[in-house]
Chains A and B, each alone.
Chain A
Amino acid sequence: MNKIVKSASEALEGLQDAMTIMLGGFGLCGIPENCIAKMVELGVKDLTCISNNAGVDDFGLGLLLQKRQIRKMISSYVGENDEFERQMLSGELEVDLIPQGSLAARCYMGGAGVPAFYTPAGYGTEVGEGKEVRVFDGKPHLLETALTADFAIVKAWKGDRFGNLVYKGTARNFNPAMAMAGKITIAEVEELVEPGDLDPNFIHTPGVFVQRIFQGVNYEKRIEQRTIRPKS
């Protein structure tokens, strides 16, 4: 079993215009920087991107937005990206905003083989328009459908050639659920290790969900809001 590919370029083989891509990360934390850079270089377009956020103007998915490579975004919060807001308000970019917990569950369920589920989030709001409502224990719920993607691209801290992954800190976020939901799941990791180096008790994403893995380079890991406290 060897899922190692040489680079982002090899990992993204088969990526085509108009595909649906999941990208892990929360803000700029835990985003697959290498694959995003390669997607910009490849120039693929008309993409549907499923990602909690849309990056900032000059980093993360913002780089793909700048080049107008994204036709539709499925996200929960896009407040940090002016170019995104501009393209959305002008109608250039199609946007499906969905509650963050529903987004995570829809990815997880997509990978878990559950086609739909009920959740109370969004009932009585725009999010509920056109969706089936069913009452459980006196409380109305919306029927939400699962999401899958042609490629799911995740970023992990460490991984091995079996595709087993470990994330670091809150860079985990959407990565494990999305890793489950890709027809092809690409993991870019900071460090490739030998099988056995990762304790099986502490694997976050079991390798079965991952098809291609590579060690990324030059991670910038940009901090969006650098908040500190004074030493007293």
Chain B
Amino acid sequence: MLDKNGIAQRIAQELRDGWYVNLGIGIPTLVANYIQDDINVVFQSENGILGMGPFPYEGEEDADLINAGKQTITALPGASIFDSATSFAMIRGQHIQLTVLGAMEVSDTGDIANWKIPGRMVKGMGGAMDLVASADNIVVAMMHTNKKGASKLLRECSLPLTGVKCVKRIVTNLAVLDISPEGFQLIERAPGVGVEDIKNATEGRLIIEGDIPEMKF
């Protein structure tokens, strides 16, 4: 079974040289720590920067340089800064090759819910609805089950949706799964995790074809 860093490390393998990538808040942010040395990618933060670098050294924090998670960041050589309307033109116009974001629930048709629990938690969708509606390539990073042990991979989402039929791939602490016309297609198992474990933790339709390989790191 993977921890959050393991999920991020597995997602880093999805990145390709030359891609512009938007990483959401939480586990997705950790993906930046695991980029392979032979790959160049540019990170976009939707508040208005391409070429986001690592956190600054102590004493070098700049209140005017943050990411979409409101964290202090740095700008790498070659970075560019722009306004919010331009930022979402990049997203809506499909100039960003990969979006990685977290989710509370994903359905086996690729619907995603991650912005609201009615009556209890309403933080807002931020840029998530724009990202999932427009991005061609959406990878969800999340734990397979919630804190109560209930599956987050469902036949249908129970929470208000962020987007419909948009998720391509899901990487959890247990597995890599793709959205196929028949449901969640199991692609890889996390180290030490059996197919039965994944079956038990998945409420939506699960497609298992042949031997399922273990993730390689």
Contacts and interface: CB of A to CB of B under 8 A. Distances in A.
Contact of A223 (B72, B121, B128, B130): B72
Contact of A29 (B55, B70, B121, B130): B70
**Highest count of chain B CB atoms <10 Å: which of A95, A221, A226:** A226
Interface of A: 26-30, 52, 75-80, 85, 88-89, 95, 97, 99-105, 107-108, 119-127, 157, 167-177, 204, 221-231
Interface string B42-59: 000111110000111110
B129 A122 contact: yes
A26 B66 contact: yes
A215 B164 CA distance: 46
A170 B51 CA distance: 12
15 contacts: A26-B68, A75-B124, A76-B125, A76-B127, A78-B122, A85-B123, A97-B122, A97-B124, A99-B128, A121-B134, A125-B161, A174-B84, A227-B72, A228-B56, A230-B57
Contacts of A222: 63
Contacts of A123: 133, 163-164
Interface stretch (B85-93, B97-105, B139-147, B180-188): B85-93
Contact of B83 (A89, A122, A173, A228): A173
Nearest to B90: A101
A170 B47 contact: yes
A77 B64 contact: no
Nearest to A221: B63
Q: Which 6 A-B pairs have the closest CB atoms?
A: A101-B88, A79-B123, A101-B130, A124-B164, A169-B64, A99-B129
By CB atoms of chain A within 10 A, which of B73, B84, B87, B91 has the most?
Answer: B84
Nearest to B123: A79
Given A88-B122, A97-B124, A127-B129, 13 more contacts: A27-B47, A29-B64, A99-B133, A101-B88, A101-B92, A104-B85, A105-B88, A167-B83, A168-B64, A172-B83, A229-B55, A230-B57, A231-B57
Given A89-B119, A99-B129, A221 B64 contact: yes
A82 B58 CA distance: 29
B125 A77 contact: yes
A52 B84 contact: yes
B130 A121 contact: yes
Contacts of B91: 101
A85 B45 CA distance: 25
Interface string B162-203: 111100000000000000000000000000000000000000
B65 A100 contact: no
B72 A225 contact: yes
B105 to A, nearest CB: 13
Contacts of A174: 83-84
A97 B115 CA distance: 11
Nearest to A81: B123
Candidate in A103, A123, A124, A174 with the most chain B CB atoms within 10 angstroms: A124
Given A77-B124, A226-B72, A229-B57, A126 B48 contact: no
A68 B47 CA distance: 28
A177 B87 CA distance: 12
A202 B47 CA distance: 20
Contacts of A105: 85, 88
Nearest to B130: A101
A75 B126 CA distance: 8
A228 B72 contact: yes
A85 B57 CA distance: 34
A27 B66 CA distance: 9
B1 to A, nearest CB: 27
Contacts of B85: 104-105, 107-108, 176-177
